[in-house]
């Protein structure tokens, strides 16, 4: 009986040790390998039993996608329960002033040591309100973009399209809401297996 109890305690301690190891994430341990901004048109879907309708002017969305990896030593198949990704997209607004839109995505069960993707979007209406371009939005209207990744409130990953003193441009311009997680857009059903799972409110 005593041997069984010792074995159970040892297994519990091993599990606790493994959890502690996989959760020991420090600043810089999440590597953002790629950061890309694209203009995507509103996706069109077909459904049975409905009359198809022509959409002569599909509207433009901004898509911001990152590829990242949690680069730490951890047991096989280790996961992080949650990672918070904050997105920032900067513009010159209609008055010529700098304006930065922001939003966040909480990813859950992120595999350690595996290439992982995340994406967020800005709607056509929001783009129009900021830039005046309600049609034919151009990626050149974007002045800069970047992401910060947090684990347990600690900044563990960062990437920006700008460098030097301008890298964290959002700290100078201030931010307003406007960047949406993928599941709050018409893109929700697309490329599901490409992106890390999301914690929804």
pLDDT digits (tens, 9 = 90+) for 109-131: 999 999 999 999 999 999 999 99
Specify whether the CB–CB gap between 126 and 142 falls below 8 A: no
Domain count, the chain: 1
Q: Which of 151, 141, 101 is nearest to 121 (CA)?
A: 101
As given in the structure block, the two tokens for residue 158 are 């960062």
Q: Once rounded to an integer, what is the mean pLDDT over residues 128-156? A: 93
Q: Exposed/middle/buried for 63, CB within 10 Å: 0-12, 13-18, 19+?
A: middle
User: What is the pTM (predicted TM-score) of this model?
Assistant: 0.86
Angstrom distance (rounded) from CA 66 to CA 103: 14
In a domain, 22, yes or no: yes
Q: Residue 115 domain-assigned?
A: yes
Of the pLDDT bands very low, low, confident and very high (cuts 50, 70, 90), residue 3 is low
123 in any annotated domain? yes
Rg from Cα positions in the chain: 21
pLDDT tens figures, 41-54: 999 888 888 888 88
The more confident residue out of 201 and 179 is 179
CA 4, 18, 150 angle in degrees (round to 5)? 150
Instruction: Indicate which CATH number applies to the domain containing 105.
Output: 2.60.40.10
Place 154 in a pLDDT band, splitting at 50, 70 and 90.
Answer: very high
Give pLDDT, residue 24.
Answer: 83
Q: Is 86 a member of any domain?
A: yes
Cβ–Cβ < 8 Å for 147, 158: yes
pLDDT surpassing 90 at residue 159 = yes
Q: Does the pLDDT of residue 6 top 50, yes or no? A: no
| Cβ neighbours of residue 35 closer than 8 Å, sequence gap 6 or more | 64, 65, 66, 145, 146, 147, 159, 160, 161
| Residue 199 placed within a domain | no
Question: 119: which strand partners?
Answer: 65
Identify whether 200 is part of a domain: no
Instruction: Grade residue 23 by pLDDT with cuts at 50, 70 and 90.
Output: low
Domain that holds residue 76: 2-42+58-194
Residue 89 has pLDDT above 80, yes or no: yes
Q: Is 48 a member of any domain?
A: no
15 within a domain of the structure (yes/no): yes
Ranges of H-type helices in the chain? 2-22, 124-131, 170-173
């Amino acid at each position: 009986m005593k041997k069984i109890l010792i074995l159970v305690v040892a297994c519990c301690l091993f599990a606790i040790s493994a959890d502690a190891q996989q959760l020991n994430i420090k600043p810089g341990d999440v590597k953002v390998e790629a950061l890309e901004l694209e203009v995507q048109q509103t996706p069109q879907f077909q459904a049975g039993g409905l009359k198809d309708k022509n959409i002569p002017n599909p509207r433009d969305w901004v898509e911001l996608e990152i590829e990242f990896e949690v680069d730490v030593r951890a047991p096989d198949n280790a996961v992080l329960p949650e990672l918070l990704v904050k997105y920032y997209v900067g513009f010159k607004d209609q008055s010529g002033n700098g304006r930065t839109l922001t939003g966040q995505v909480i990813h859950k069960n992120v595999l350690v040591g595996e290439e992982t993707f995340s994406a967020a979007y800005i709607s056509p209406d929001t783009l129009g309100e900021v830039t005046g371009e309600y049609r034919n939005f151009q990626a050149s209207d974007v002045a800069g973009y970047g992401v910060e990744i947090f684990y347990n409130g600690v900044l563990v990953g960062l990437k920006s399209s700008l460098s030097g003193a301008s890298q964290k441009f959002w700290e100078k311009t201030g931010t307003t809401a406007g960047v949406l997680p993928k599941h709050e857009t018409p893109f929700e059903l697309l490329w599901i297996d490409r992106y890390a799972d999301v914690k929804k409110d």
